[in-house]
Amino acid sequence: MGQIKKILVANRGEIAIRIFRACTELEIPTVGIYSAEDRGSFHRYKADESYLVGEGKKPIDAYLDIEGIIKIAKSSGANAVHPGYGFLAENEEFARRLEEEGIIFIGPKSKHLDMFGDKVKAREQAVKAGIPVIPGTDGPVSSVAEVASFGEKHGFPIIIKASLGGGGRGMRIVNSADEVLEAYERARSEAKSAFGSDEVYVEKYINKPKHIEVQILGDTYGNVVHLYERDCSIQRRHQKVVEIAPSISLDDKLRNDICDAAVKLAKNISYINAGTVEFLVADGSFYFIEVNPRIQVEHTITEMVTGIDIVHAQIHIANGGNLHEGEAAIPKQEDIPLFGYAIQSRVTTEDPLNDFMPDTGKLMVYRSGGGFGVRLDAGNGFQGAVITPYYDSLLVKVSTWGTSFRDAAAKMNRNLQEFRIRGIKTNIPFLENVVRHESFLTGNYDTSFIDSTPELFE
Ligand code: ADP
């Protein structure tokens, strides 16, 4: 076994570096790609060899250049590609083109990408697997009247969601019947411009839920395990900011039921590789929302509480390995450890005092935290790095581990305080306010916490 000889990472920044590190540990040579704007980016130098991609294309389009990437893979002898998250990670055409060229895609099958790229199709799969979904329309809606009648039947508020939406965008909450017309039209036009399709569907808006998601791994032999859950309720405008593993708000029964539901869904569709099944939890009930068929930003905290390296596992699975056999084997479900608590904060180059406006320029000073129980995953986190406006503003992921949740939070607070960054504004002062807040420390929060707690912005 072991067909994978060399891995190209079709991504940039911290996740590209994260994957190169795993490859190096597994003694697999790596190939990086970089856009013209990323000429000085750190990920370029963390690969064994790197090539310019998408010459003449816009900064983001360079990393979406499917044929350019395939060409680099072939000429460098990379016979596997890891897509990271974002960019081409969930692009069915990319997965299919790699397959045609005989290059291994380190991710699920293209049919899974198809199933989960569209939230309406994903919902259908959840229903088929018999797991609870939020009351919603069975498929896309095609008229204002349909939206209004859903609202009347189930009661407002409701939420209109873009079928192809992602990244916390393409959602519109509708509080009453009078708002339906405008919300429907806006949701459709926003969906069209952001995701290329104006298809939308409707769900009941769950009041003050927690966002709980389950990490799963599946192999080509039908083995599926979960690595427990993450609580990602600390969100700003539906985007995750701080994540926790495991959740401090679930009792054992609810935790088991949610994890079992995720595994049931994955088994039902013979899911392969790493994925995340997301749920909303309110009043002791849980409801499926979507599946992310890829590695996620917050995978670090699951690794810290289980000891399982998810990228190693992804490569092992893509290499045709059995989850529970070989050097990279992981324990059977009942033996997967869960120890302590981990928290991740997403440090971004955004100014919390100016509506999180992205800042750009040179990092004049960059000193990070450290010490026991800390993990840092940075992209361009070094003195002299130039932060450009072209890509997302994630600077470094700070993850801390502790024997108790309070311990992990104290380590996070200390680490954030230890950072010295000059020349570029960051959201660190805001993150400090979050991880010190009593509601955070006691689990007394839901997805509306940040948006409804003005003192966090001071
Ligand atoms: P995306 O793919 O953009 O991340 P999700 O469907 O995963 O979108 O939802 C992101 C967040 O939006 C959730 O974590 C939650 O805070 C909020 N959300 C989505 N659907 C609902 C709903 N029906 N009721 C309440 N909140 C919702």
303 lines ligand 1 (CB under 6 A): no
> What is the CB neighbour count within 10 angstroms for residue 152?
12
Ligand 1 near 227 CB (within 6 A):
no
- Provide the annotated active-site residues: 240
Amino acid at 362: K
Is 159 near ligand 1, meaning CB less than 6 Å away? yes
List the residue whose alpha carbon is closest to atom 18 of ligand 1. Answer: 238
For residue 2, the model assigns a pLDDT of: 67
Distances (CA, A) of 291 to 94, 273, 274, 382, 390: 19, 13, 11, 34, 27
Residue nearest to atom 14 of ligand 1 (CA): 211
Concatenate the DSSP letters of all residues of 43-67 into one string.
Answer: HHHHSSEEEE-STTS-HHHHTT-HH
How far, in Å, is the centroid of ligand 1 from the Cα of 160?
Answer: 10
Q: How far is CA 333 from CA 141, 224, 276, 278, 306, in A?
A: 40, 9, 16, 20, 11
CA dist., res. 382 & res. 362, Å (int): 10
Residue 71 CA, ligand 1 centroid: distance in Å: 37
CA 238 to centroid of ligand 1, rounded, Å: 6
> Phi and psi (nearest 5°) for 396?
-155, 140
User: Are the C-beta atoms of 234 and 450 separated by less than 8 Å?
Assistant: yes
pLDDT value at position 166? 87
Please give the backbone phi and psi of residue 404, each rounded to the nearest 5 degrees, phi first: -125, 165
pLDDT of residue 1: 46
Q: What local confidence, expressed as pLDDT, does residue 231 receive? A: 98
Looking at the chain, how many residues does it have?
458
DSSP state of 393: -
Distance CA 173, CA 237 (A): 12
DSSP 235-289: EETTEEEEEEES-SS--HHHHHHHHHHHHHHHHHTT--EEEEEEEEEETTEEEEE
The pLDDT of residue 56: 96
CA of 450 to the centre of ligand 1 (A): 15
Q: Is 205 in the pocket of ligand 1 (CB under 6 A)?
A: yes
77 CB within 6 A, ligand 1: no
Token pair in block for residue 449: 């916490």
Amino acid (one-letter) located at 357:
M
The per-residue pLDDT for 327 is 86
Whether the model clears a pTM of 0.95, i.e. scores above it, the answer is yes
Cβ 243 under 6 angstroms from ligand 1: no
Distance 16 CA to ligand 1 centre (A): 27
Element (H, E) at 290: strand 285-292
pLDDT of residue 170: 86
Q: What is the DSSP secondary-structure string of 178-223? A: GGHHHHHHHHHHHHHHHHS---EEEEEPPSS-EEEEEEEEE-TTS-
Q: The complex's ipTM?
A: 0.97
Amino acid code (one letter) for 52: L
Is there an atom of ligand 1 within 6 Å of 122 CB?
A: no
Using one digit for the tens of pLDDT, what is the confidence trace for 32-50? 999 999 999 999 999 999 9
Best mutation site among 238, 287, 446, 452 for ligand 1 pocket (most ligand atoms within 8 Å of CB): 238
* Cβ-defined contacts of 184-192 (< 8 Å, 24+): 184/141, 184/144, 184/147, 184/160, 187/160, 187/161, 187/162, 190/162, 191/162, 191/163, 191/164, 191/165
Contact 133, 288 (CB under 8 A): yes
CB of 231 shorter than 6 A to ligand 1: no
Ligand 1 atom closest to the Cα of residue 207 is 25
User: CA 317 to CA 426: how far, in whole Å?
Assistant: 37
Question: Coil, strand or helix: which one is 399?
Answer: strand
Note the pLDDT tens digit of each residue in 57-69: 999 999 999 999 9
Residues of the chain with pLDDT under 70: 1-2
